[in-house]
């Protein structure tokens, strides 16, 4: 899986609808040759704001995951700039695995147990 150079996407949370956000996530996955989407969450003001943003994305992810069980998500914090000032942001990586012999064919490095 090629992470460096992967486009970073943004979703407008002002008119948030979890089903619409889930559909957007799946479109990003479908448009990616390695089934990977990197999403940069908006900057957060405080821990409560961060929790609300995470909850919104997790709700959308749960909808997407119900439709596509091979999805996985990783949430990481990152240092970024917002309006020229350093800020902490959350980066979400969403990936859809395709398993063959316990390995993802997209080269993400994840593995899973296979039936003996």
pLDDT of residue 6: 57
Q: What tens digit of pLDDT does each residue of 21-63 get?
A: 999 999 999 999 999 998 888 777 788 988 888 888 899 999 9
Q: What is the pLDDT of residue 116?
A: 60
Closest CA to 11 of 77, 90, 88: 90
Specify the pLDDT at position 22: 93
Task: Name the pLDDT band for 1 (thresholds 50, 70, 90).
Answer: very low
The number of angstroms, rounded, from the C-alpha of 68 to the middle of its chain's C-alpha atoms is 14
For the segment 55-84, what is each residue's pLDDT rounded down to a tens digit? Answer: 888 999 999 999 999 999 888 877 666 677
How many Å is the maximal CA-CA distance in the chain?
54
Residue 33 has which token pair? Answer: 């040759």
- Which architecture, in CATH terms, is 8-104? 2-Layer Sandwich (3.30)
Domain boundaries, the chain: 8-104
């Amino acid at each position: 899986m090629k992470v460096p150079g992967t486009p970073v996407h943004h979703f407008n949370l002002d008119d948030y609808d979890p089903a619409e956000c889930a559909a957007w996530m799946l479109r990003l996955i479908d448009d990616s040759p390695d089934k990977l989407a990197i999403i940069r969450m908006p900057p957060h003001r405080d821990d409560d704001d961060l929790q609300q943003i995470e909850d919104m994305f997790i709700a959308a992810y749960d909808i997407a995951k119900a439709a596509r069980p091979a999805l996985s998500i990783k949430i990481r914090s990152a240092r970024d700039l917002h309006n020229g000032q350093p800020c902490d942001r959350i980066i979400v990586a969403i990936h859809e695995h395709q398993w063959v012999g316990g390995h993802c064919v997209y080269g993400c490095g994840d593995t899973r147990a296979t039936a003996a």
